[in-house]
Structure 1
Amino acid sequence: MAWQMHYTSARNGPTGRSGFQFTAETPGLPDRVRAAVAPFLAYRPPPAAPLSPGPGELAAFPVALLYDRVDGRPLLARSRYLGQDYSGRYGNFFAHAVVAEPDELEGLRPAELWDAPLWRAGPTALGALPEVPDLAPDAAFAPDALAEWLRGQPDLLAPLVDAVVTVLGRGHGRVVLVAADVELIARWIAVVSYSLPVAAAERLTFVTYSADPDGAGQRVVGTTPDAWAAAQYQGGPAFALGDPPPPHRPVSRFARTVAACWRAGDFAALDALGELALLDGADPPGPRALERAAALLALCRGEARVTPDEEAGAAALLARSGRDLPEWVWRDLVPGVPSMGVDLAVAVEDRARAAGAVDVAGQCALRAVTAALDDPSTRDRLPRRALPLVLRPALEPAVTSALAAAEELTDVAHIAGIAAAAGAPARPGEVRAAAQGRARVGAADVPAALAACPDAARGALLAGVVTGLAAADARTRAAVLGDRACDLLHDAARDDPDLWPSAPEVALAVLDSVGRRRPLHRVAVTADLLSLADVESVLPRPTALPRPTDPDRPPGPDRPPVDAVLERLWAAAPQPGECLELLESHAAAFGERPVLAELPSRTFARALGDADIGVEVLRLAARVRSAPPGPDADRDAAAVQACATAIGAERPDAAAEALAALADRGAGPLAEPAFGVAAGRLARRDPVFRAALLAAAPARLRARLGARWTGALPGRGGDPAVRHELIETVLRMRALGAADPALETWARTAVTRWFAGRRLEAHFGGDPALRSALRDLAAEARTGNRGRQGA
């Protein structure tokens, strides 16, 4: 039901008092509603209006039609200036208010009631008013009548709609309309109301006239020029309706659409706009929802000038619509499918698929893929799913064009991935050609591209990268071949042995990088390098590094390219197992390439330097001796074997024979370290073996061995047992009839120290013969008798 109320200044109202009051109302009006309505009922004449207007002047005073909400119900109030009240004082006005239930205004815009039949021009003498039977609108404010009127008005609608939408979306502020004729204001308010979805129009509170636009609480406030001139307004946009339109400024898609609908009298489009805005789910639809709705309507109507951002907004609206999308929407969108962007095509596809329109969904899916191929920025938003079989051939030209236009190697990989996911894999030759072109100019992030590339296209992509880099200049090639790229290319070459021979420059760079950084792969890298021997002649001969075994050799362009990389690869001496594996797999290369031929000797030198003559070292030495890669390697292997023989000999004379071989002048540069390792290990043998070894050795060898042993003794504070064993060795050597002056001199010095002598006496206390020999040696030291001088 709808209640009515009359409000004016009366001598005797229902309450028996005088003054402004409710003079009549519909019975049953709740007190709280009456109290809520009262603050909205006020009227002050414009500043320039006559102070004592006559009957003819009163008709020119502005009518204030107000729409607001009280207690959850719509409030409509129409106020007119009456001039004098019952006492003859000026300032009296009459307000006719209607409070309705929300459904009473269904299908009706409040502004339509501007001059509706329900309004009374003055108070009634009856105290009770009937319920309002029907809220019949003003026929002059019907949409078609307003459209006709609007044709003669300035082009204000688009900026006015934008201003109102902004205020509604913000939830505070107001838009002021200024005109001497407030019916003009009412008409503009009505046009704006019709332009909004119903839910938004319900929240568009307004008053057609206020003498105080600063204090009015409605979203749209009308006023007169004289009242506006006196106002100190800071609240937002204002429009002088009688003036020329303001300078052009950008307006929203929604505002432009609304203005176009009114110019064309296309009220169906306005209704469609409101229907689409509701799909966003906001209540009421805000500026974003209205903008998206306008963009979607433009797409439904095939408009060409829809920006990518607007299209994305329309796609978002479709995605939010669920199953509530009107059937006409996606059907109207079908003609525009060939020009859709990715997001919109995907959204329409989903809606069409849900509606069972398989053909439309397929066309949208095809468009989404082709659009993503054209626009790299959208590819991550494209769902990866196969196209219907019948549509896949139509994708092939788009894939071909996209590959030809790819700017980066990663673009090539993404394009191949999109095509593969759609069920129409790119042709390998086209992938290879595109990758080759990108790699040649350095537009190639190999790790990122391989990460994005589908498995089926990896071979073609890699082949193109390698071929392109082979044709690139050295600077470009070096920029592309970072460490990670080299690792990936090297791993790929294991699965495709034909990758390197076609691009030896690339192979050298990759193998050089991998070998230097991944020591465990040096043997495999060497094999790959040697496989390039057949194409080595076409490679430039780089400046070589000095050999590790010949650091004084000046660098120069005298080394084959593969050897130059091998030098860097084996800058650190190989482990015995590595060298043995190389020698067994590539024996011929050892004879052809000095950088490999010297590896066994470097391996032996490393092992001797570490005093580690293990099984693998001996296996390498045996392999070298059985088929020497060169005389130096054979000689050094013999030194290692002699060292091992001396260390492991069961008989002293055999050890002496092996040491004698190492002492030979022709034993080579490793003989000295080999002799030192053997001497050190033999020093651990018991004194009986060591004395027999000394006795079996020639005098010169005996002296050299003795010097090694005495030189390795610990200093003071060290383990005395080591010294005791060496003295015992000297005593036993003398007993065998052999002597070494230097060794015996050391022994005499050692036994003359009082504390050392006492400990030696105790040490040999269990062996009378050694104890007697010790006393003889001590006596020689005291008398100066040097004993035997060698045997």
Structure 2
Amino acid sequence: MAWQLHYTSARRGPTGRAGFQFVAETPGLPDGVRAGVTPYLSYRPPPDAPPSPDDSELGLFPVSLLYDRVDGRPLLLRCSYLGRDYSGRYGNFFAHAVVAEPDELEGVRPAELWHAPHWTHRPEPETPVLESLDELVPGAALDPEALAAWLSASGPGDPYALLGRLVDAVAGVLGRGHGRVVLVADDVELVARWIAVVSYSLPVAAAARLSFVTYTADPDGAAQRLVGTTPAIWASAQHHASHASAFDLRKGVRDGDASRFARTVAGCWRGPDLAGLDALGELAPLNDPAQEAAAALLALCRGDATVTAAEEGAAAELLSRRGPGIPEWVWRDLVPGVPSMGLDLALALHERARAAGAAEVARQCSLRVTEGVSDALAGASALAEIAAAAGVAGRAGVPVDPAEVSAAAARCARRGGGDLGAALAGCPGGSRDALLDGVVAGLAGARERERAAVLTPGNCDLLYAHAGRLRAVPVIACAVLASVGRRRPGHRIPVTGELLRLDGETGGEVDAALGEVWSEPPSAGECADLLDAHGDAMARRPALAELPSRTFTRLAFPGGDGLTEPAALRLAERVREVMPGGRAGRDAALVRAYGKAITAGPAGAARALADLADADGATPQLAGEAFVGAARRLCPRPPAFRAELLAALSPSARARLGARWTAELPGRARAGRAPLRGAEVGQRNELVEVVLRLRERGVTEPALEAWARAAATRWLAAKQLDVHLARSPRLRASLRDLLGDGPPSRGGR
């Protein structure tokens, strides 16, 4: 049911007071309705209307029909100007309000009630109690057929162009939930007709959200979405109006861009095709933002050849999203257009038809999908497009030719298309191998710049996961494997294995790739693992053959400390077993000699030092650092050991070792200066003792003796050495012999 209220200025109303007030209403009005209606009760005449109209002029004043919601209930309010009130003052108006239950307007558009029979045009003082309305009956003047006939004959300009622009504007404010659209005309009947046309152009539920008022003197302050006003009012309001959309119904509009939805609506009115308007309402119901998709879908049902690929995609998305909610007639009407459909739409229609059990429709769509997939593959400009086409085929259950997938992928790769990750992620498993084969084949024929654009680190990692497929194109395999091995040290040994499996005709590329992979020398453990995995091939590949030497050399610095690690000794043993010849074998022998030099007795150490000193064919840096390290390790040995060691060496090796031992001394002791501090005295004394013991053996080392003579000549040094040799008269005598006859110098204290 619906409740009625009358409002006007009266001498004496139901409450006994005078002035504007509710003068009649339906009994049982729900709480809050009267207060909710009150803010809408106003009427101000147009500024150019007669200020003191007589009865014949009152009919020229615009009638205001307002539609809005009050506490969730529909409100319909009709206001008409009465002129003078009971006291003779102008400004009186009469308002007739109807407040209905939420479902009372179901299936009825509020604009249809413009000339409804229930409206009262003037107050009825004798009727303070109004009946409830069991039914809101629309007026006959604004039915769709009559409006279509009127629209075809209206002007100025093209009324359908105006309609398209108006529908877009109204759809915009409804979608945003704020703003308003203003209709400007001298004749309120014209405004009401356009409001009715727009209301019929929307789904019923959307029209229920379209609040409107046919006339207001304050268009900028109106709360409704569609607002009518007069030219005089608009002329003064537009200078500070905040809304952006206004349409002067006297002038029409020039042709402009309208949405597919608006163009479809205008086309339905032009037909007239009122069933098409209903169809749009079915496809895009309340709060559904897919009006454009619905319009495109309807256009396809009507055989419209102007639907773009983007619009087809939107229609396909709508079909998939709505599923069973799509009316049966839609996919049935689409069938004749299947041969010319785009791929996405054919797939969506195929899925819908298959779900509905329409075997023939599904079959036709399968054929279209097959054809469309081939077309899409032939025209693909990116790998992701190939994957998408293959995915469409997979969802439709139709086969896709692997050769077509490979050819398309090769074409994209030659052009530098690098979206491999997205393509593999979106490509069905059955087509992934064909896509990979095509990419690899295409890269083989690509120019250097395009190839580099595809072979990014990420793409190389993806291709490495399918390393077996790379072997057929060694030049690409080398590039991919080099990238992976260079960036991911943990993969260097398996990458090396893949490189060694490639065709021997690509030796240059393989060697270059191996050089990149092993640009950073391996650790001793990694090098030993490499020997275990590929020892038989290492000697044949220069980039691999040098790795043990590079590893040993890095371990030797500084001072050979790393050469005593268990991993280094294990590596040396493996090199001796697997690569006994060449530089790597000689360097491994050096490492073993180093170990003996610092652990064996004097004779064994001498033989090992001789090998270190005479390392013909070994890596010079390794040999030099190994000798320095061995000398440093042997320096703390007792003087007797060192003297025996020196005696066993050749003169050149003896001189070199003596020089190293001298170099190990602190600066003062090395230069023969005094006084010395703490351990420095002991280091000097022991090295002098080594020289003396060496002389006892009948062996001399001139440079070492010269140093010893200079170090012992000073008085304090002589006294300290005398104390150091106190228990060995023989060595004291040898010292005097070294220094010659005569007292020691007393300087240098």
> Taking structure 2 as the reference length, what is the TM-score of the superposition?
0.73
Matching residue of 1:126 = 126
Is 1:178 matched up with 2:178?
no
Q: Residues 304-319 of structure 1 correspond to what in structure 2 (within 5 A)?
A: 304-307=305-308
Is 1:280 matched up with 2:287?
yes
Shift of 1:293: 5.0
Cα distance in 2, alignment partners of residues 449 and 30 from structure 1 = 63
Shift of 1:247: 1.8
Is 1:535 matched up with 2:496?
no
Per-residue CA deviation, residues 369-422 of structure 1 (Å, 9 max, x unaligned), is xxxxxxxxxxxxxxxxxxxxxx6x986555444443332345445555665677
Which residue, out of 642, 654, 665, partners 1:713? 665
Matching residue of 2:671 = none
Shift of 1:191: 3.6
Per-residue CA deviation, residues 133-155 of structure 1 (Å, 9 max, x unaligned), is 66544334443344344433232
Matching residue of 2:411 = 437
Shift of 1:535: 1.8
| Residue aligned with 2:687, SS | helix
Q: Which amino acid aligns with 2:687?
A: L
After superposition, the Cα gap between the structure-2 partners of 1:680 and 1:335, relative to the gap in structure 1 and judged at 3 Å, is same
Indicate if the aligned counterparts of 1:2 and 1:99 stay in contact, CA closer than 8 A. yes
Indicate if the aligned counterparts of 2:387 and 2:427 stay in contact, CA closer than 8 A. yes
Q: Which amino acid aligns with 1:99?
A: V
Shift of 1:438: 3.3
Shift of 1:648: 5.3
Matching residue of 1:147 = 148
Is 1:615 matched up with 2:585?
no
Q: Which amino acid aligns with 2:667?
A: G
Shift of 1:781: 2.6
Matching residue of 1:725 = 686
Cα distance in 1, alignment partners of residues 490 and 83 from structure 2 = 106
Indicate if the aligned counterparts of 2:353 and 2:362 stay in contact, CA closer than 8 A. no
Shift of 1:484: 5.2
**Runs (5+) with no aligned partner, structure 1:** 282-287, 368-390, 540-559, 787-791
Cα distance in 1, alignment partners of residues 631 and 592 from structure 2 = 14
| Residue aligned with 1:139, SS | coil
Give aligned pairs, total.
714
Matching residue of 2:379 = 405
Per-residue CA deviation, residues 699-737 of structure 1 (Å, 9 max, x unaligned), is 666555544433443433454444343334344444445
Q: Which amino acid aligns with 1:408?
A: A
Indicate if the aligned counterparts of 1:210 and 1:223 stay in contact, CA closer than 8 A. yes
Matching residue of 1:248 = 255
Matching residue of 2:60 = 61
Q: Single out whichever of 98-107 and 637-646 deviates more from structure 2.
A: 637-646
Indicate if the aligned counterparts of 2:114 and 2:192 stay in contact, CA closer than 8 A. yes
Which residue, out of 442, 445, 467, partners 1:471? 445
Is 1:777 matched up with 2:735?
yes
Matching residue of 2:94 = 95
After superposition, the Cα gap between the structure-2 partners of 1:422 and 1:40, relative to the gap in structure 1 and judged at 3 Å, is closer
Shift of 1:178: 1.7
Cα distance in 2, alignment partners of residues 223 and 672 from structure 1 = 102
| Residue aligned with 1:151, SS | helix
Cα distance in 1, alignment partners of residues 484 and 420 from structure 2 = 15
Q: Residues 594-613 of structure 1 correspond to what in structure 2 (within 5 A)?
A: 611=560, 612=563
Q: Which amino acid aligns with 2:411?
A: G
Q: Which amino acid aligns with 2:126?
A: L
Shift of 1:233: 7.4
Cα distance in 2, alignment partners of residues 239 and 259 from structure 1 = 16
Shift of 1:357: 1.9
Shift of 1:618: 5.0
Indicate if the aligned counterparts of 1:4 and 1:97 stay in contact, CA closer than 8 A. yes
After superposition, the Cα gap between the structure-2 partners of 1:607 and 1:316, relative to the gap in structure 1 and judged at 3 Å, is closer
| Residue aligned with 1:404, SS | helix
Shift of 1:440: 3.4
Cα distance in 1, alignment partners of residues 10 and 28 from structure 2 = 22
Cα distance in 2, alignment partners of residues 636 and 8 from structure 1 = 115
Which residue, out of 627, 640, 643, partners 1:688? 640
Cα distance in 2, alignment partners of residues 514 and 45 from structure 1 = 81
After superposition, the Cα gap between the structure-2 partners of 1:224 and 1:595, relative to the gap in structure 1 and judged at 3 Å, is closer
Higher relative contact order (CA 8 A, sep 6+): 2
Cα distance in 2, alignment partners of residues 320 and 622 from structure 1 = 71
Cα distance in 1, alignment partners of residues 370 and 732 from structure 2 = 101
Shift of 1:777: 2.0
Cα distance in 2, alignment partners of residues 79 and 490 from structure 1 = 79
Indicate if the aligned counterparts of 1:5 and 1:129 stay in contact, CA closer than 8 A. no
Per-residue CA deviation, residues 762-789 of structure 1 (Å, 9 max, x unaligned), is 5455xx4x24522552476361599xxx
Matching residue of 1:138 = 139
Per-residue CA deviation, residues 619-648 of structure 1 (Å, 9 max, x unaligned), is 377559x9645xx88877777776666655
Q: Residues 319-718 of structure 1 correspond to what in structure 2 (within 5 A)?
A: 328=329, 357-359=356-358, 363=362, 398-412=372-386, 415=389, 426-444=400-418, 460-483=434-457, 492-493=466-467, 495=468, 499-500=470-471, 503-506=473-476, 509=479, 534-535=504-505, 578=527, 590=539, 611=560, 612=563, 615-616=569-570, 619=573, 622=576, 628-629=581-582, 649-650=600-601, 652=603, 656=606, 679-696=631-648, 702=654, 705-716=657-668, 717=677
After superposition, the Cα gap between the structure-2 partners of 1:749 and 1:81, relative to the gap in structure 1 and judged at 3 Å, is closer
Cα distance in 2, alignment partners of residues 635 and 86 from structure 1 = 127
Q: Which amino acid aligns with 2:182?
A: V
Cα distance in 2, alignment partners of residues 413 and 233 from structure 1 = 56
Percent identity between the two aligned chains: 51
After superposition, the Cα gap between the structure-2 partners of 1:650 and 1:345, relative to the gap in structure 1 and judged at 3 Å, is same
Q: Residues 191-340 of structure 1 correspond to what in structure 2 (within 5 A)?
A: 191-202=197-208, 204=210, 208=214, 235=241, 241=249, 243=250, 245-280=252-287, 288=289, 293-299=294-300, 301=302, 303-307=304-308, 328=329
**Runs (5+) with no aligned partner, structure 2:** 669-676, 745-749
> Taking structure 1 as the reference length, what is the TM-score of the superposition?
0.69
Cα distance in 1, alignment partners of residues 460 and 656 from structure 2 = 53
Indicate if the aligned counterparts of 1:214 and 1:233 stay in contact, CA closer than 8 A. no
| Residue aligned with 1:99, SS | strand
Cα distance in 2, alignment partners of residues 692 and 60 from structure 1 = 137
Shift of 1:528: 6.4
Cα distance in 2, alignment partners of residues 108 and 448 from structure 1 = 51
Q: Single out whichever of 662-671 and 151-160 deviates more from structure 2.
A: 662-671
Cα distance in 2, alignment partners of residues 21 and 664 from structure 1 = 123
Indicate if the aligned counterparts of 1:337 and 1:363 stay in contact, CA closer than 8 A. no
After superposition, the Cα gap between the structure-2 partners of 1:350 and 1:713, relative to the gap in structure 1 and judged at 3 Å, is same
Q: Which amino acid aligns with 2:285?
A: L
Matching residue of 2:747 = none
Cα distance in 1, alignment partners of residues 484 and 456 from structure 2 = 10
Indicate if the aligned counterparts of 1:151 and 1:263 stay in contact, CA closer than 8 A. yes
Per-residue CA deviation, residues 178-225 of structure 1 (Å, 9 max, x unaligned), is 235x44444444444444444444455555556776777665555666
Indicate if the aligned counterparts of 1:116 and 1:136 stay in contact, CA closer than 8 A. yes
After superposition, the Cα gap between the structure-2 partners of 1:784 and 1:705, relative to the gap in structure 1 and judged at 3 Å, is farther
